[in-house]
């Protein structure tokens, strides 16, 4: 009997989520894209093969069986890219297959550009995709390569339904826009009656905020929480406030979230013949992606939220060594948590 990783047995509810890259093609050209920051567009412009997708799905099914002994753990997976909607009808066929094998419907992360009447009708006919999670753009600093935020908002408003939910996803906020965060929140609330998840630029593009930017972030978070907390869900910088960086869509659930990517290149060398053996290796990989963090500051009041942190913050990444990454993580974490605390005091006792 193989030994299960500690992460599964730790107290508290948690989510394990797989992100299956189903295509390397994309119909947008966002400068902040972390996917193409690490890959050459031309070299990765292909779809996942049926064979590889089925291997991934059989792995997820097997993991689901193992996790049935852990009622506190929920299992999800999403289709991502590139841009999954580039697959047209094949997307629905893949989702159908996925549901048949795993008994769990995938959801799809998209830039929303290809959403139209025909797509929605096909989605409603197949009923194999759980929902769409649509990334949106900072309206005050739109990236020239990204889809137009007003057009995407229009599509969300027009096509979102209970039958097929289209949920505003994540908006990437560069450090220089921390001062506009409240203005950005107002824009989305006015247009969509809800707020997308706010996220910092990830990995290769991350730059440490200045002291002034941290102060601006603090002030804006206080304003957002005091103005919107009774109106809608607020998701702030999930890679720091929760242990999810890639799946902010779950952060409102206040569970520990662990994410693992299954890529087009099959980096874990999974095939239909080795599913059982790979099941334990992949579960172990979750543990490695979210290592235990022993912070030097034993008196920190936020230490409960730092027990496990995303590997990148702990070990750094290219051009950004670990001492700097953990310093930035800590500064951002304290800024955000202090702002949340201040906002809650204002809400309770007034200014």
Distance CA 75, CA 102 (A): 10
Name which of 176 and 303 has its Cβ closer to ligand SF4.
Answer: 303
Environment class of 125 (CB within 10 Å of its CB; exposed 0-12, middle 13-18, buried 19+) = exposed
> Are the C-beta atoms of residues 129 and 107 closer than 8 Å to each other?
yes
Strand order through the sheet with 73-80: 197-199, 166-172, 132-136, 107-110, 73-80, 14-21, 256-262
Nearer to ligand SF4, 230 or 296 (CB): 296
CB of 306 to ligand SF4, least distance (A): 3
Report the nearest approach of ligand SF4 to the CB of residue 297 (Å). 4
Residue 143 sits at φ, ψ, to 5 deg, of: -75, 135
- Minimum CB separation of residue 341 from ligand SF4 in Å reads 13
The least distance separating ligand SF4 from the CB of residue 325, rounded to whole angstroms, comes to 11
Q: How far apart are CA 276 and CA 258, in angstroms?
A: 21
C-beta closer to ligand SF4: residue 269 or 327:
327
Quote the least distance from Cβ 241 to ligand SF4, whole Å: 11
Distance CA 30, CA 138 (A): 12
The CB-of-343 to ligand SF4 minimum distance in angstroms stands at 18
* Alpha carbon distance 241, 254 (integer Å): 10
Name the residue nearer to ligand SF4 (CB basis): 107 or 313: 313
Q: Report in angstroms how near the CB of residue 301 gets to ligand SF4 at its nearest.
A: 7
**Residue whose tokens read 């912070």:** 295
By beta-carbon proximity to ligand SF4, the closer residue of 177 and 308 is 308
Q: Please, what is the minimum distance in Å from the beta carbon of residue 331 to ligand SF4?
A: 8
Nearest to ligand SF4 of 165, 291 (CB atom): 291
From the CB of 304, what's the least distance to ligand SF4, in Å? 8
Measured from the CB atom, the residue of 205 and 300 that comes closer to ligand SF4 is: 300
d(CA 79, CA 311): 23
Among residues 16 and 343, whose Cβ is nearest to ligand SF4? 343
DSSP-assigned letters across all residues of 258-324 = EEEEE-TT-TT---TTSHHHHHHHHHHHHHHHS-B---S-TT-TTGGGGSB--HHHHHEETTEEHHH
Other Cβ atoms within 10 Å of 284 Cβ, number: 16
In 3D, which of 50, 91, 68 has the Cα closest to residue 4? 68
Question: How far is CA 209 from each of CA 179, 244, 296, 301, 331, rounded to the nearest angstrom?
Answer: 12, 20, 22, 22, 9
- Closer residue to ligand SF4 (CB): 104 or 300: 300
Chain contacts with ligand SF4 (rule: CB under 6 A): 295, 297, 300, 302-303, 306, 330, 333-334
Of 207 and 303, the one with the shorter C-beta distance to ligand SF4 is: 303
- Minimum CB separation of residue 240 from ligand SF4 in Å reads 9
Decide if 112 contacts 152 (C-beta within 8 A).
yes
Q: What's the CA gap between 17 and 61, in Å, rounded? A: 13
Which DSSP category does 87 fall into? Answer: G
């Amino acid at each position: 009997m193989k030994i299960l990783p500690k992460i599964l047995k730790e107290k508290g509810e948690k989510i394990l989520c797989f992100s299956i890259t189903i295509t390397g093609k994309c119909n947008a050209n966002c400068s902040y894209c972390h996917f193409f920051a690490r890959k050459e567009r031309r070299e990765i412009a292909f779809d996942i093969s049926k064979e590889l997708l089925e291997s991934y799905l059989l792995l997820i099914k097997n993991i689901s069986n193992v996790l049935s002994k852990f009622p506190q753990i929920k299992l999800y997976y999403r289709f991502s890219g590139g841009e999954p909607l580039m697959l047209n009808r094949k997307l629905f066929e893949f989702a159908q297959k996925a549901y048949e094998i795993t008994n769990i419907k995938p959801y799809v992360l998209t830039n929303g550009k290809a959403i139209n009447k025909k797509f929605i009708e096909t989605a409603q006919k197949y009923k194999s995709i759980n929902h769409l999670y649509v990334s949106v753009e900072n309206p005050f600093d739109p990236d020239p390569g990204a889809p137009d935020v007003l057009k995407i908002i229009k599509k969300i408003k027009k096509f979102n339904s209970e039958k097929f939910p289209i949920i505003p996803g994540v908006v990437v906020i560069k450090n220089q826009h921390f001062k506009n965060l409240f203005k950005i929140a107002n824009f989305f609330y006015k247009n969509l009656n809800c707020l997308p998840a706010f996220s910092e630029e990830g990995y290769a593009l991350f730059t440490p905020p200045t002291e002034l930017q941290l102060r601006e972030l603090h002030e804006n978070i206080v304003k957002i929480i005091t103005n919107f907390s009774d109106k809608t869900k607020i998701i702030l910088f999930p890679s720091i406030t929760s242990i999810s960086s890639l799946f902010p869509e779950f952060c409102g659930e206040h569970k520990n979230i662990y994410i693992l990517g299954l890529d087009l290149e099959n980096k874990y060398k999974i095939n239909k013949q080795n599913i059982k053996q790979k099941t334990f290796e992949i579960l172990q990989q979750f543990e490695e992606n979210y290592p235990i963090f022993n912070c030097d500051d034993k008196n920190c009041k936020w230490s409960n939220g730092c027990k496990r942190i995303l590997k990148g913050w702990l070990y750094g990444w290219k051009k950004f060594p670990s001492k700097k990454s953990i310093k930035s993580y800590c500064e951002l974490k304290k800024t955000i948590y202090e702002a949340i605390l201040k906002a809650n005091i204002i809400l309770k006792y007034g200014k």
